[in-house]
Amino acid sequence: MSVFDKSYRRYKGELKGRWFKIWSIATTTFRVQFSGKKIIFLLILCNLPMIAFTLMIVFTAIFFPQDLTEMLLGMFGTLDIAMYTVINFTFNAGLIFLPIVFISALNSGTIANDKKHNSLALYMAKPIDRIDYVLGKTISVYMISSFVTLIPWLMFLVLYTLLAGSTQIQFLDTLWVYLSTTGSALVVILFLGSIVLLFSSFSNQSVLAGILTIMILFLPDILVTTISDVLDVSWINYLSISSLLTSAIYLVFGKPEFESLFGSNFFESDISGGISIVILLAVAVICILFTINNLYKEEID
């Protein structure tokens, strides 16, 4: 009998379930991505629009409490308009789509680094399927993406609701705004996260994957702006990432009627929000399927 046969003992313990393995991949990747010191600086930088609005409200409440109600209602308007305005400023072209920079930079190495360091072979050596691996990585990308979408948006919303309590706004009357904010964040996270995950699966260089993702997300808006100067057609905006996102959010928030100083047509979408949501979710699903396909074609040594 060989030495291997004498020393080897088949494991007879209980194996964890499939979803536990997927969650383990997600949480491990999440911790690795947030392990660098530069991440905090990048996180603050890409949350500047939210931080600016939040600090403005806080400073007004501390130093000019008598002007707080006037600022909340006069500048932002009702709660739904305030939240909708803040979210749309996040995707303003003048702010170079800061969440896109964060999501692309931090998630571009999700799969690429595993391929570069041959960690993919270690994952596949364990009792997990490649679909489990992709699902775990996808969840981690969505979790990281929430730090420049869902989490800061809800923090601003809670703060605004608490400070606006003096205007007799009740929580139950504004619950739909919380749900709308969450729905908007999920659409953004699914769309942007799935695209960056796809490009991460194409290459073993995270920098290249990040650059390609940013280019793919920015170029359509540049082309649409250029074409719009020549052709006066609204359907061209369906090729613009910012237009798709803002029109989808416009629909999720129930097409709010603006009564603040921003004007009645502020951020009003000129394309169908329903079609925009279908396009965004379809792109997300296609990207995930292509990512799975890329992993199944990947040769593991």
Question: Are 74 and 260 a contacting pair, CB within 8 Å?
Answer: yes
CA–CA gap between residue 4 and residue 119 (Å, rounded): 26
| Interval 177-210: pLDDT, tens | 888 899 999 998 999 899 999 988 887 888 888 8
Q: Mark the ranges of the chain whose per-residue pLDDT is less than 70.
A: 1-15, 69-77, 92-97, 125, 164-173, 229, 256-268, 299-301
Round to whole Å and give the CA distance between 23 and 137: 9
Q: Where are the alpha helices (DSSP H) in the chain?
A: 3-7, 18-33, 38-46, 48-63, 68-71, 79-90, 98-107, 109-116, 119-125, 130-145, 150-163, 171-202, 206-228, 241-252, 273-297
Q: Do residues 251 and 274 lie in contact, with contact meaning Cβ atoms separated by under 8 Å?
A: yes
Q: Give the dihedral of Cα atoms 228, 232, 88, 110; nearest 10 deg.
A: -40
- pLDDT for 282: 95
User: From the centroid of its chain, how far is CA 36?
Assistant: 20
- pLDDT tens by residue, 57-94: 777 777 777 777 666 666 666 777 778 877 877 776 55
Quote the Cα angle for 290-296-297, to 5°. 90
Contact 67, 60 (CB under 8 A): yes
